[in-house]
Chains A and B, each alone.
Chain A
Amino acid sequence: MSILDIKAMSVAFGGLKAVDGVDLHVDEGEIVSVIGPNGAGKTTFFNCITGLVEPDDGEVLFQGENIVGLDPHQVTEIGIGRTFQNVRLFPNMTILENVMVAQHCRTKQGVWGALLQTKRFRDEEAEIRERAIDVLSFFGTRLSGYRHDQPAYVLSYANRRRLEIARAMATQPTLLMLDEPTAGMNPRETKELTGLIGKLRDEWGYAILMIEHDMQVVGRVSDRVAVLDHGVKIAEGLYKDVSNDPYVIEAYLGRPPEDAA
């Protein structure tokens, strides 16, 4: 059954149709990639799903319920976690805090708990911390150990991307949306992350919707690929089918991947 089912989504900025009548669905345990040239409306498409931009038209059904019009934090709460194309961490919070804060909507303790230091509060804090450490350990030693208490701004670009994924994981999503997870990584790092994306599905059980420019990554992990161009979905299917589609080649694959990235 599909977790996410988008029906005829459209959004326009001024006269520009950024997303134009796109249908897309993601099934449980599936990895779906959205590809397309720069400016094809991919990120806007993501923003529409997560409530940062309200679509002008169409439905977003998440587990059968229409989530259009929800605030972004509510979208996160019902189980959609995401990362950002232009890495947006909380730079002056520690790495651990970055992941801890993402569990906000899964926890409840408020002002009184903190002030009275109730047992529930302390238990919950311990739990938040534990889960944060657990999520960070997904990336091996890169974000663990002494790194926990370092501010996020000291991280390298690749590690920032990893921390963003960890943060999205900490929101305990059922659907994980990754916006260009390998952008700016070198080939080896890209390869490693590709493996991790597979693990995210196999071990953590997320369905994954991702925007990606690197065709090798897309080809290796995607169950299905959708192609956007000028806000319109021009193709959808298996990677090998899509990559041979003449329209797609014209719109996108005609250029070497280095240029597109």
Chain B
Amino acid sequence: MTVDWRKARNWGFYAGASLVFIAAIGMVEAFDRRPLITPGVSLGLASLLWVPPLFAFIATRRQQLEGFETGKAGVSEVGAGALVGLLSGSMLWLFTALVDATFQTDFNIRDIFPKLGPAMVRLLTFEQGLGTGALIIVLGTVVLGALGAGLHLLPGPLRSGVVQGILWVFAIALTQAIVDDIFDNDTTEFIANALYAPGNGLKIPAAIVIFIVAGGLAWWAATRDTPSIRERLNRMDPADQRRTTMIALVITVVVFAVLPRFLGGILNELLANVGLFILMALGLNIVIGLAGILDLGYVAFFAVGAYGTAVLTSPGSPAFSPELPWWLALPVVILMATAAGLLVGTPVIRMRGDYLAIVTLGFGEIVRLLFLSDWLSANFGGSQGIRQIPGIEWFTGEIRGVDPDRIFYMVAIFVLVAIYVSWRLQYSRVGRAWMAMREDETVAEAMGINTVTAKLLAFIIGAILASFGGAIFAAKVGSVFPNSFELLVSIIILVVVIVGGMGNIPGVMLGAVLLIGVLGGPTQPGLLQEFQEFKLLIYGVLLVVVMLVKPEGLLPSRHRSRELHHEEMSQDAWLTAGVGAQEEEAVAAT
């Protein structure tokens, strides 16, 4: 069996195009000042480094056919990997040379591509000039490509050890600010000092230690062939299963209850934001994950929650200002969300799924445009929004955005409510009706399900959860503006739900933690504040890649795990007709 060289060539071009793209949007330059491992690797360099090995790995991956020997990977794989590296490196160098060439003419390339300049050329050639630079780039990518493809030569456990080791090194290097923050006291400060050169990234010895420890652990775990947690859970009987889940839940709650005490303000703010998005993502999960309704105007309900709270509580509300306390406003907001859910849901109830998506998107935009308009500015303040929104009354005083740890607790309470609601409904008559509707609307209707009420119910419950998010958001920020409710919010929540795993509560939460926590929300910064400028781009790429590669998401729900790859009939009657004849005869006799 030989390597598919055409595939290697194609992936080489893809890799090259990706490298050029990453350089051309200015990522390399923007991230250059952020050292990861010192000396040597900056985030800018790292933004290129991952491409050749990954693409080479994919290019040399053998198709797994069940029941066929795939053969051992060999030197030819490494060669193909090197080819991927060679092509991609050459493209990157050619690009650099082209950009450099324009500097000799009076044509200013910055007029078209503002990110391309001498600084980028210097970076990409490692300040060695084009000639030596070419050698470095191409040699580097060839080695990286070969290494990536070489991973196939390693036995499975070792491979996962190496990969995870590298990932952990970069993860810890990237999160320097946070780790520093956590260990920022006299007794534990030495850990941070051992890891990092101050403000300069991971020290090389530390990087090696992390690689060995994390990689070793991963390798060890992989060799032991331990079943995944889910498999183990599935093997237990239901009572044990429930108990284990409860214990895990309690531990999680306790951890999150004490966690904010140890975290700084920035991290608590981050946690609160993540929580807010978990809340809304859980709501959208009911609508899209369970009921199968692609609602792209979900932000409208968030807006209704936020503006409802603002109008009801703020003394600064222009027209109507009852100045209710937050907790009294909440029931009214729930009613408003219900009404909004009905108002949006009813006209679209009989539409085809894709029409519904665009119409709900239209509704979302109409809501924002109305809040923004001069026409209603007498009521909602137009582009000025509504300010002076008071905090949330609590026994110990008012909770406001300035104390993020208490906001976090507040959010956590509502997240718990949302989890409970999602979980209970999912395994009830209502949830089953939703799922049936998601699978096949016509048949669901023919099996006695009133799809009109089922759909509206999904809309309303989703709307209420989103309005909780809006109500907390309003109190947290202290003011609401129409710009906080752009389509972007809907899309980001959609990405969270889809990347995490549609229809699965832990999946959706994981999605929010990874995306909102690491990259950040529409306006909220994440852990990696450096990525701010490229956040939306990454969201777009993620959405496409997940849809193409793993449409069921990172943590799929129990049954959806194979849904989108299915159509297998594992034991078709025609195939087993000869073999299982006696067994079937016996059954027929009973």
A residues within 8 Å of B by Cβ?
50, 52, 71-73, 75-77, 82, 84, 88-94, 97, 100-107, 109-111, 113-115, 117, 121, 124-125, 128, 140-142, 151, 153-159, 167, 171, 185-186, 188-189, 191-192, 195
Contact = CB atoms under 8 A, between A and B. Distances in A.
Contact of B429 (A73, A114, A117, A191): A114
A185 B577 CA distance: 10
A54 B430 CA distance: 28
Nearest to A115: B424
B423 to A, nearest CB: 10
A110 B559 contact: no
Contact of A153 (B424, B450, B566): B566
B428 A102 contact: no
A188 B461 CA distance: 49
5 contacts: A71-B450, A88-B440, A94-B559, A115-B424, A171-B448
A113 to B, nearest CB: 7
A121 B425 CA distance: 12
A52 to B, nearest CB: 7
Nearest to A87: B443
A196 to B, nearest CB: 9
Interface in B85-107: none
B435 A192 contact: no
Given A71-B445, A101-B449, A157-B573, 13 more contacts: A82-B446, A84-B443, A93-B432, A109-B429, A113-B428, A114-B425, A114-B430, A114-B431, A117-B424, A140-B587, A151-B559, A188-B581, A189-B573
A93 B445 contact: no
Summarize B's interface: helix, strand, loop or mixed.
helix
Interface in B400-440: 420-421, 424-425, 428-433, 435-436, 439-440
B457 interface: yes
Interface centre among B431, B450, B573 (most CB of A within 10 A): B573
A110 B585 CA distance: 43
Contacts of A189: 573, 584
B4 interface: no
A237 to B, nearest CB: 30
B573 A76 contact: no
Interface string B564-590: 001111111110110001001101101
Q: How large is the interface on B (under 10, 10 to 19, 20 to 34, 35 or more residues)?
A: 35 or more
B560 interface: yes
B435 A90 contact: yes
Nearest to B557: A92
Interface string B66-93: 0000000000000000000000000000
B587 A154 contact: no
Given A76-B448, A77-B448, A90-B443, A104 B573 contact: no
A196 B208 CA distance: 69
Contacts of A105: 448-450
Given A72-B446, A97-B435, A104-B433, A92 B451 contact: no
A171 B571 CA distance: 28
B424 A156 contact: no
A195 B567 CA distance: 30
Given A73-B451, A94-B559, A128 B587 contact: no
A192 B588 CA distance: 6
Contacts of B354: none
A59 B218 CA distance: 70
